[in-house]
Amino acid sequence: MTLIAFYPLFRLEMNKTLYSYRQIRVRLGWFLSLTGAIIVLTSSTIPSTVAPQVESYDVVIVGGSSGGIGAAIGAARSGVSVVLIEDTPALGGMISNGISNADCFSYESLSGVFDEFRYAVKAHYLADKAEMETPLFKYRKKSNHIDGRAVQSNEAAAGGRWEPHVADEIFKKMAASYPNLKIYYRRFATGVLKEQNRVTGVTTDTDDKQPITFLGKTIIDATHEADIAAWAGAPYRVGREPRSPLEPHAGEIYYFNDSGEILPGTTGRQDAGIVSSGVRLCVKFFKPEEGTAHLLTTPPPGYDPAKYEHSHYGSGKNPSVPKQKSEMNVNPIGNELQEANWPWPDANRQERQRLYEVYKNHALGFLYYLQTVRGEKHLGLAPDEFRDNGNVPYRVFIREARRIEGEVTMTEADINPFILGNSFVPPFQPTSIAIGHYPMDSKPVHPKTDVSKPDKGEGDFFLANAMTAFQVPYGAIVPKNIDGLLVPVALSATHVAFSSIRMDPTWVVLGQAAGVAASISAQTGVPVRQVSVPQIQEELLKQKCKLVFYWDVQSDHPHFDVIQKASLKGWISGSDTRDFRPDSLLTRAEAASLLTRALQLWPSVSNSHFTDVPFSHPAFRDVETLFDRGALKVLGVEPRWPQAGGYNAQKHMGFGQRSNFGAFRPNAPISATEFQQLIQVLRSGNPTFLPPGELVASASNALPPAPESLTRAAAVNYVDQILNPKPKMETPAPTPISKPKGKRK
C-alpha cells in the first residue's frame, strides 16, 4: 500500500469565499484519491516528527460529542472493542460544554442512552434535599402547542437541567462501566486512512506531538463538522438550499416568531450561509455577601459595548440551572456571532482555534457588558466549571457546519407533517433508527442590524406548531461513495430539516444506532452500508431506543419491543393524535387490519358489503379482504349465495349489486376465541373455498391459547408469538458424574 501525506502548500485568508475554499478541497481530494492508496489529509501544517504507534479496534469513533458518547456505549454494549478520540478533557460534547437542558418537546420521545443520562441527572439532584426545595425544581411548564401536549421538556425535577461538570461526570461514569471501551482525551484527528473507497483508520496527534494511528473495522465520524467524512472524500453540503415544494422555509427568509408571519424581503434564495455560533457560558448567581471576585475587572480583547446594545438576557433574572446557575444562550444579539463562523466547516485546527478565541471573547464581552452597563453584578462565571480553562467552555457551539450527502437526505417534509399530509403524522420511515421531537429552529445567518422590524434577523425561525415527533432513517447516516464510515452527527439533511434534528437527545440516539450498526458490521464482516436494518433495530430495541413514536407507549411497557417492531413492519399504526392505546380492547376492525398486514394477505375488494364500514373507513380494505376470503364466517357473517339457489336467468342475468350484509360493528371488541379462529382459518389456506360448517375444523395446526384480555398490545404480542415462535430450548441430558478413582496402593 502507498502512504500519501498531504500538508497544505498554501494558506487561504479567512475573507476568501466559502465556495472557492471548498472547490480547492474537492480538487485536492480527487488528486489524492488514488486506487489502492492510503490517504492522509492532515489538519495541521506541521507534521509530527515522532513515529506514530498503531492501535487496532473493531470500532473507532472520532469526537466525544453527544453523538460520540452514544456511539461508544451503543457499540460497547455489543461486546466489540471500541476507542473514542476526543480533543477536549470533557465527554458529551455540548451537553458538557454549556448546553444544560434537554432540548426536546416531549419526555415520551426520549429513549436510549440519553434517557439513561437524564435519569442519572435526576438521581444526582434528588440526593440534594436543599436543591430540591429551590424554585427551579418546583417549576412546571404547560403546553402551548396546538396539539395540547408538546412542550419544552427540560424541567429540572425530571432530570432536564444539569450543570456542565455534572454531565461530564455522569457520561464518564457510564463509559467506565465498559472495559472494552477506551477513551483518549485532548487528542485530535489529523487525517484518514483509506483502502480504495473504504476508510480503514484515522491518524491523530496531541498538542505535544504524540501521534497515534487508530485502525478500525468501522469508523464513526461523530464530529460536528464531518471532518473525517470530508477528508475521506465523502460528498457534503454547506449552507442553505433554495425554497421548494418540500422546503417552504428554505433559503433567505425573514420570520416573526410571535405572529408566525413570513416578512417582506424573503426570497427563498440559496446561499452558503451558516447559522450563528457561540460559546455558551455557564454563569452563577452570586449573593452580595460572596463579594466581588466574580466580576470581570477588564474587558476582553475587541470589546465594544455597542455590539450588545439591543440584547436581553432573560436568564439573568432567575437561575435556570441547578446550584444557582444559568446557561448563556442569547440570540440574535448577545453571546453569539453571525458570519464569523462561515469559514469554520473547512477551516483547519489552527484556524478554528483562532475563531474559538473570537467567540470566547465575544461571550465574555457580553458578560462584561451585563455586569458594567446593565448593572447585573450578581452574574459571574461559575468557578467550579471548566476549572482548567478559565471557567469557560472548551467548545464553540457549532449548530451546523458540513452536512454529508447520504443514502437518504431528510427534508423539511420529513419534519413538518403538514407538507405531505394534513395531520400530526409525518412520513413513516420503516428504516428508523432514532426519534426526534423539536421544532425547526434556525438561528440568524446575518447579524441583526435593522431593529425597525421585529424579526430576529435573516435566517431565524422557530416553527413550534409545524412539527411533531419524527423518525430518522438509517440511510441518513451512511455517506455516499465511502465505505466503512458512519456519520451520525453531521448527517444527511437539508438546512431546514437539520435545524430540528440537531438536538442532543436525537444525536445521542443516532450515535447509539451508529455504534450498534458498526458493531454488527465488525462481528459479521458485512459492510455498514449493507448491514440489515431490522438487525440494527432489533438491537436498538434491546437497548430501549424508541424507533416509532407513540405518546402512550413507553419503554417500560411489557410489550414495548413488539409494539415497536410491529409498527416498523406496518402491522399496526397509531391514531392521528399519535396514540396507540395499548391497553384498549382490540376491535373487530382493528383485528381485520392487523391480520391482513401481519399475514401479508393480498388486498381484495369486490364490493362494499357493510353499512357501517363505508369506503372512507380506515379499515374498509382490510374488512373487505377478509370478507372476500370467507374468513368473516368466524364473526357470524354467513354467505348469501347458497340462499339464491341455482342459476335463474330472469334473476341473475343482470348486474345488480344487492350486496348489503347489514352492520359489521367495526368498533365492537373481538373475543379472544374469535381472534384465534380468524388466525387459524387465514393460515390454513383460502377459506373462501371451504364448505360451510367446515371452517374452523380445517385449521391444521394448533395455536397457543389467546390472552384472556385481548388488548391491542396483547393482540400484537400474540400474533408475533405465532409468526415468530421462539425455538424450544431442549433440556440437555444430565452429564453422568464419574466417581474419582482410588489411588493404587
Give per-residue pLDDT as tens, 2-57: 333 332 322 233 333 333 334 434 334 433 333 344 545 444 444 566 677 999 99
Identify which has the larger pLDDT, 726 or 528: 528
CA neighbor of 571 nearest in space, from 552, 588, 591: 591
Helix (H, G, I), strand (E, B) or coil at 70: helix
CA neighbor of 330 nearest in space, from 391, 295, 281: 281
In a domain, 268, yes or no: no
What's the one-letter identity of residue 671?
A: S
Q: What mean pLDDT value characterizes the chain?
A: 90
Helix (H, G, I), strand (E, B) or coil at 650: helix
> 158-167, 313-322, 504-513, 736-745: lowest mean pLDDT where?
736-745
Q: Are residues 430 and 381 both part of a single domain? A: no
3-state helix, strand, coil in the chain (%, to 5): 30, 15, 55
CATH of the domain at 74: 3.50.50.60
Q: Are residues 669 and 710 both part of a single domain? A: yes
Please give the pLDDT value at position 316.
86
Q: Is the Cβ–Cβ distance between 250 and 421 less than 8 Å?
A: no
Confidence band of 744 (pLDDT split at 50, 70, 90):
very low
- Mean of pLDDT values over 586-600: 97
Q: Are residues 404 and 381 both part of a single domain? A: no
Q: Are residues 95 and 60 both part of a single domain? A: yes
Give per-residue pLDDT as tens, 424-481: 999 999 999 999 999 999 999 999 999 999 999 999 999 999 999 999 999 999 999 9
Identify which has the larger pLDDT, 741 or 463: 463
Please give the pLDDT value at position 254.
98
- Mean of pLDDT values over 408-425: 96
- Mean of pLDDT values over 237-266: 97
Q: Are residues 84 and 233 both part of a single domain? A: yes
In a domain, 661, yes or no: yes
Q: Are residues 708 and 614 both part of a single domain? A: yes
Q: What is the CA radius of gyration of the chain?
A: 30
Please enumerate in sequence order all residues whose Cβ is within 8 A of that of 656, keeping only pairs 6 or more positions apart, or say none: none
Domain encompassing residue 25: 1-250+400-441+460-549
In a domain, 560, yes or no: no
- Mean of pLDDT values over 246-275: 97
Q: Are residues 338 and 478 both part of a single domain? A: no
Give per-residue pLDDT as tens, 345-365: 999 999 999 999 999 999 999
Please give the pLDDT value at position 31.
39
In a domain, 558, yes or no: no
Confidence band of 653 (pLDDT split at 50, 70, 90):
confident
CA pair distance 107, 143, nearest whole angstrom: 13
Q: Are residues 111 and 239 both part of a single domain? A: yes
CA neighbor of 579 nearest in space, from 587, 569, 567, 571: 567
Number of domains into which the chain is organized: 3
Q: Are residues 170 and 294 both part of a single domain? A: no
CA angle 106, 107, 111 (to 5 degrees): 120
CA neighbor of 16 nearest in space, from 25, 28, 27: 25
Please enumerate in sequence order all residues whose Cβ is within 8 A of that of 733, keeping only pairs 6 or more positions apart, or say none: none
For the chain, give the percent of residues with pLDDT over 90. Answer: 82
Give one word for 256, left, alpha or beta, with left for phi > 0 and alpha for psi -120 to 50. Answer: beta
In a domain, 270, yes or no: no
Cell reading at 509: 440516539
In a domain, 259, yes or no: no
Q: Are residues 169 and 28 both part of a single domain? A: yes
In a domain, 432, yes or no: yes
Spell out the long-range contacts of 296-304 with Cβ–Cβ below 8 A and sequence spacing 24 or more: 296/364, 296/367, 296/368, 296/371, 296/380, 299/365, 299/368, 300/360, 300/361, 300/362, 300/364, 300/365, 300/368, 301/361, 302/358, 302/361, 302/362, 302/365, 303/361, 303/365, 303/368, 303/369, 304/365
In a domain, 617, yes or no: yes
Q: Are residues 367 and 468 both part of a single domain? A: no
Residue that finishes a domain, picked among 351, 368, 389 = 389
Q: Are residues 340 and 223 both part of a single domain? A: no
Q: Is the Cβ–Cβ distance between 224 and 63 less than 8 Å?
A: yes
